[in-house]
């Protein structure tokens, strides 16, 4: 179906939300806080103008259901929560693009299948460090025991705080019951990276979310006097780490993934002593599980070579890992066609950051679209996207949703 969105209404909603819950310091919609409730209040006001049923599930996700001719459901949405001092678009763009999409559908009468908007609870994990909270209850990838005792900076427990917002962790798994009848999920988000902007594009289809391998790597050599130890007998852990950082980058380039050494710490860390130990953090990402595994295997070999070349040893400790989550090929194809039709260019890219769509993709055919991000900046008050790009992205998103509704309505 053709959904005749008016993107200016979505942009007006986004500006009104920013006025209400942001300011010169950026967005303040941190989940499980009064500012987040205020943002949800604003969302409920907008939804109150539409013929939808609004309620909150056992995991704290807000749903707005527009009944269709058939019970099978297309879900659209994102998250209204933000990081502290965040941007005005991260999450909110997807929410108000979905509101505008619902609004435009409702203006034409009853859709051929049911369409539900979802506002996921605590996508960011900004207060307790557990991101994708609401969507993880739907996919079953979270357990009450794992998160109940997480504490925020003030020492408050997650279990107590979410209870104040109506979420009983022991009942949260029941939220997955909402998935009955759900046939697709579609989300619009800002890219949070520089790829679309540098290609001169407003919008692109998203292929899936990167798998991640994150390790702490410790190179150990021999601390010794910087003045009295000749170069040939040194066992310098920082030089081993330096060789490795360059090799890990080369590996990522070779496999067309990404790899980042984000931190380095030397012991003892003074100018007069050769670093006896250097610990680094490595983050590797790829959309293909096999390529990611190869990047990791080659990085391990590079670390062994770098350590051996400098007379050092090396130890790895895995900090975190998630597999790549590819989106649905048919929906990706539909999104690419929509980008072509609306923006004149067919472009698809992987997502480096995680999104609730990654959890949803475990359950139902899923796709995302990205709008460009000015200077690639996100999670900062400077986050922005040209309005013309926002409007093109909202149009391409609505067109993709229309295609998904047609598919679901056709069974």
- Residue holding tokens 């350590």? 307
Dig out the tokens for 332 from the structure.
């990706």
DSSP, res 180: T
Q: How many CB atoms lie within 10 A of CB 106?
A: 16
Nearest distance in Å: CB 265, a second copy = 8
CB of 183 or CB of 235, closer to a second copy: 235
CB of 50 or CB of 347, closer to a second copy: 347
CB of 285 or CB of 403, closer to a second copy: 285
Residue 338 near residue 113, CB atoms below 8 Å: no
Nearest to 31 by CA among 129, 145, 170: 129
Q: How far apart are CA 380 and CA 82, in angstroms?
A: 10
Nearest distance in Å: CB 205, a second copy = 15
Nearest distance in Å: CB 26, a second copy = 16
Nearest distance in Å: CB 229, a second copy = 5
> Would you give the distance in Å from CA 359 to the centre of its chain?
10
Nearest distance in Å: CB 24, a second copy = 21
Q: How far apart are CA 102 and CA 94, in angstroms?
A: 12
CB of 306 or CB of 396, closer to a second copy: 306
Q: Report the interface residues with a second copy, using CB under 8 A.
A: 191-195, 198, 210, 212, 214, 224-233, 236, 238-239, 241-243, 245-246, 249, 252-253, 258-266, 269-275, 278, 281-283, 285, 319, 351-354, 376-379
Q: How far apart are CA 320 and CA 215, in angstroms?
A: 7
Nearest distance in Å: CB 320, a second copy = 8
CB of 70 or CB of 214, closer to a second copy: 214
CB of 155 or CB of 230, closer to a second copy: 230
Nearest distance in Å: CB 86, a second copy = 14
Q: Helix (H, G, I), strand (E, B), or coil: what is residue 334?
A: helix
**To 10 degrees, what angle do helices 237-255 and 289-309 make?**
150
Q: Which helix (H) or strand (E) element contains residue 300?
A: helix 289-309
Nearest distance in Å: CB 316, a second copy = 14
CB of 72 or CB of 191, closer to a second copy: 191
- Residue holding tokens 């794992």? 146
Exposed/middle/buried for 232, CB within 10 Å: 0-12, 13-18, 19+? exposed
CB contact burial 282-303 (16+ within 10 A = b; e otherwise): bbbbbbbeebbebbbebbeebb
Q: Helix (H, G, I), strand (E, B), or coil: what is residue 227?
A: coil
CB of 80 or CB of 258, closer to a second copy: 258
Nearest distance in Å: CB 399, a second copy = 24
Q: Helix (H, G, I), strand (E, B), or coil: what is residue 232?
A: helix
CB of 109 or CB of 225, closer to a second copy: 225
């Amino acid at each position: 179906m053709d959904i005749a969105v008016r993107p200016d209404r979505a942009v007006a909603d986004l500006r009104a939300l920013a006025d209400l819950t942001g300011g010169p310091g950026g967005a303040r919609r941190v989940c499980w806080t009064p500012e987040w409730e205020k943002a949800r209040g604003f969302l409920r006001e907008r939804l109150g103008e539409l013929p939808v049923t609004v309620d909150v599930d056992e995991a704290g996700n807000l749903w707005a259901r527009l009944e269709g001719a058939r019970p099978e459901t297309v879900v659209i949405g994102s998250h209204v929560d933000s990081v502290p001092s965040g941007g005005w678009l991260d999450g909110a763009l997807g929410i108000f693009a979905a509101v505008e999409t619902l609004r435009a559908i409702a203006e034409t009468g009853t859709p051929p299948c049911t369409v539900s908007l979802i506002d996921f609870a605590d996508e960011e994990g900004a207060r307790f460090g557990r991101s994708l909270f609401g969507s993880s209850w739907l996919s079953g990838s979270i357990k009450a025991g794992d998160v109940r005792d997480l504490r925020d900076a003030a020492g408050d427990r997650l279990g107590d705080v979410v209870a104040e917002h109506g979420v009983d962790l022991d009942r949260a798994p029941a939220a997955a019951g909402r998935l009955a009848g759900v046939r697709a999920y579609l989300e619009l988000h800002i890219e949070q990276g520089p790829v679309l902007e540098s290609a001169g594009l407003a919008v692109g289809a998203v292929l899936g979310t990167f798998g991640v391998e994150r390790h702490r790597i410790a190179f150990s050599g021999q601390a010794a006097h910087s003045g009295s130890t000749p170069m040939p007998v040194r066992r310098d852990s920082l030089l081993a780490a330096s060789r490795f950082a360059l090799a890990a980058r080369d590996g990522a380039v070779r496999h067309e993934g990404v790899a980042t050494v984000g931190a380095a710490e030397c012991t003892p860390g003074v100018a007069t002593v050769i670093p006896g130990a250097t610990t680094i953090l490595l983050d590797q990402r790829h959309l293909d599980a096999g390529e990611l595994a190869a990047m990791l295997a080659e990085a391990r070999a590079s670390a062994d070579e770098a350590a051996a070349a400098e007379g050092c040893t090396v130890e790895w400790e895995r900090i975190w890992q998630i597999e790549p989550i590819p989106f649905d090929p048919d929906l990706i194809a539909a999104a690419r066609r929509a980008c072509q039709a609306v923006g004149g260019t067919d472009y698809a890219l992987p997502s480096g950051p995680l999104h609730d769509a990654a959890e949803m993709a475990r359950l139902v055919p899923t796709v995302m679209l990205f709008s460009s991000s000015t200077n690639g900046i996100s999670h900062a008050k400077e986050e922005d996207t040209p309005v013309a790009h926002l409007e093109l992205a909202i149009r391409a998103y609505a067109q993709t949703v229309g295609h998904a509704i047609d598919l679901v309505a056709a069974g």
